[in-house]
Amino acid sequence: MLGSLKTLAQTIASMDDKIDDRRTELDDVFLWLDKYVKAVFSSAAVDKKGDDLTVPLDAAFNIAITLMKIIDRGASGLDDKMAEELTKIKERYLGQ
């Protein structure tokens, strides 16, 4: 796993100039991933409920939505439509 993180760090460093104005969104993905890992692995509950479930679901949705939105700079492709649909699903089930 640490090898994968090092590879990712190298990839990001090599594309630093291309990431450009999507840097904040990519940083958000890492923050949500941290939140996800903490929420999922800090509780040994077999069936999570309440915040034990809501926090990682919210993080997972946010990661997926953000990654789809930053695929390109446009707002009319399949990636953007999928991000919109995931946002609706997130709002329907999590109320956010």
Residue type, 36: Y
| Percentage of residues in the chain having pLDDT higher than 70 | 99
pLDDT band at 75 (very low <50, low <70, confident <90, very high): confident
Q: Work out the average pLDDT over 73-94.
A: 94
Determine if the pTM surpasses 0.85.
yes
Q: In this predicted structure, what is the pLDDT of residue 37? A: 96
Q: What are the pLDDT digits (tens) for 9-42?
A: 999 999 999 998 899 999 999 999 999 999 999 9
- Number of residues in the chain: 96
**Secondary structure (H, E, C), 6-35:** HHHHHHHHHCHHHHHHHHHHHHHHHHHHHH
Block residue for tokens 């700079």: 73
pLDDT band at 62 (very low <50, low <70, confident <90, very high): very high
In degrees and rounded to multiples of 5, residue 76 shows phi and psi of -130, 5
Q: In this predicted structure, what is the pLDDT of residue 35? A: 96
Q: Hey, where are the domains in the chain?
A: 20-94
pLDDT band at 45 (very low <50, low <70, confident <90, very high): confident
Q: In this predicted structure, what is the pLDDT of residue 21? A: 87
**Secondary structure (H, E, C), 71-92:** CCCCCCCHHHHHHHHHHHHHHH
Say if CB 32 and CB 52 are below 8 A apart. Answer: no
